[in-house]
Amino acid sequence: MSRTQNSKLKTQNSAIVEVRGLKKYFPVFSGLFTQRVVGWVKAVDDVSFSIRRGETLGLVGESGCGKTTTGRCILQLERVTEGEILFEGQDLTRLGDAELRLLRRHMQIVFQDPYSSLNPRMTIGQIIGEPIWVHRLLRDRGECRDRVEELLTLVGLNPLMAQRYPHELSGGQRQRVGIARALALEARFVVCDEPVSALDVSIQAQIINLLEELQGRFSLTYLFIAHDLSVVRHISDRIVVMYLGRVAEIADRVELYESPLHPYTQALLSAVPVPDPAVEAQRERVVLKGEVPSPMNPPSGCVFHPRCPIAVEECGQIVPQLREIRPDHWVACSRV
């Protein structure tokens, strides 16, 4: 068994992050120039889950279901509309800017797009060194340079890369820089927002292995956001499935993939093609009808009911609550 898993077993199951009743609504304005609010995008609508210290919590769901918004709300990069975000017991939504700035060191983010998330006018060395400088972790230029070189080596890049600019790096190399930057401040908790989606298949595995190795080494906790269910299964201990701003199901990796209970999770899993024609020929497929509705005007009752293969009339009326169906396996479906 890998070191990562050993260290995961040792850490106790206490929560490092707790999300309680999180809501994030974005206003929709009537025109380009008028500022009249004509509606709300319910990007995240009453979401609760916790992230245990040392684990990787996967967050999956289709485009626009609110994954990024959830991640950004946890890090307070976005002010919440309602709800609490507890980080090591402290409610971040009640903190002022100065207090947040101190805590930010411990919570970092790796972005999806390695092309736009690095400042093109700064060298790689400056990009990684800047947060160290801003947070005054090191006050000596030489020490700071040494630390940058150490970080570059850590993520598998040549220390000479410090002199280069982002456009001179490949996508995979840039993603390593993003990871090095997140680690520069010795973060304990990292939100990885689709960190491999923009990368080539042959490079994705390199980055996933790196993230796992670093997790074992520095006891990191990850919130791993992705839409690729195969990747999420590989890296996550537990998984949250979201649909249209709500949580559909939460379970540990084995449970979720072996006995998914929510009809949406089942459809999602069966939609993922497996790279083996012999297996594919045997697989059952649930092809969902219809499109993902707009979060501006979500369906009544269970948001999934218009596409759900097992919906009954009451699904259109009652919002299903998350229930613990089996130990540690939570489902928001009244038909389960």
Q: Provide the binding-site residues for ligand ATP, judged by CB under 6 A.
A: 26, 41, 43, 61, 63-69, 227, 295
In the DSSP assignment, the letter for residue 320 is P
Site pattern 59..88 for another protein (x: CB under 8 A)? ---xx-------------------------
- The least distance separating another protein from the CB of residue 277, rounded to whole angstroms, comes to 5
Q: Are 22 and 70 in contact (CB under 8 A)?
A: yes
DSSP strand pairing (238-243 vs 56-60)? parallel
230 binds another protein (CB under 8 A): yes
- The least distance separating another protein from the CB of residue 163, rounded to whole angstroms, comes to 19
3-state secondary structure of 63: coil
> Residue 295 binds what, of another protein, ligand ATP, Mg ion, none (CB under 5 to 8 Å, by partner type)?
ligand ATP
- The least distance separating another protein from the CB of residue 69, rounded to whole angstroms, comes to 17
* Sequence-distant (≥ 6) Cβ neighbours of residue 210 within 8 angstroms: 155, 156, 176, 179
Question: Looking only at residues 86 through 125 of this chain, which bind another protein when binding is defined by CB under 8 A?
Answer: none
Among 81, 93, 126, 206, binds another protein (CB under 8 A): 206
Q: Are 130 and 122 in contact (CB under 8 A)?
A: yes
- The least distance separating Mg ion from the CB of residue 111, rounded to whole angstroms, comes to 10
Query: Tokens 């959830």 appear where?
Result: 70
> Residue 69 binds what, of another protein, ligand ATP, Mg ion, none (CB under 5 to 8 Å, by partner type)?
ligand ATP
241 binds another protein (CB under 8 A): no
Question: Looking only at residues 10 through 69 of this chain, which bind Mg ion when binding is defined by CB under 5 A?
Answer: 68
Nearest partner of 332 among 314, 319, 59, 45, judged by Cα? 319
d(CA 56, CA 237): 5
- The least distance separating another protein from the CB of residue 58, rounded to whole angstroms, comes to 12
Determine the number of helices (DSSP H) and then strands (DSSP E) in the chain: 11, 12
Per the structure block, which two tokens stand in for 266? 């089942």
Question: Looking only at residues 135 through 174 of this chain, which bind another protein when binding is defined by CB under 8 A?
Answer: 170-173
- The least distance separating another protein from the CB of residue 188, rounded to whole angstroms, comes to 23
Per the structure block, which two tokens stand in for 44? 């995240």
What DSSP string describes 188-235?
Answer: SEEEEESTTTTS-HHHHHHHHHHHHHHHHHHT-EEEEEES-HHHHHHH
Which residues contribute to the site for Mg ion (CB under 5 A)? 68
Binding interface with another protein (CB under 8 A)? 1-2, 5, 62-63, 170-173, 200-206, 208-209, 212, 227, 229-231, 233-234, 253, 257, 267-269, 271-280, 283, 285, 287-288, 291-292
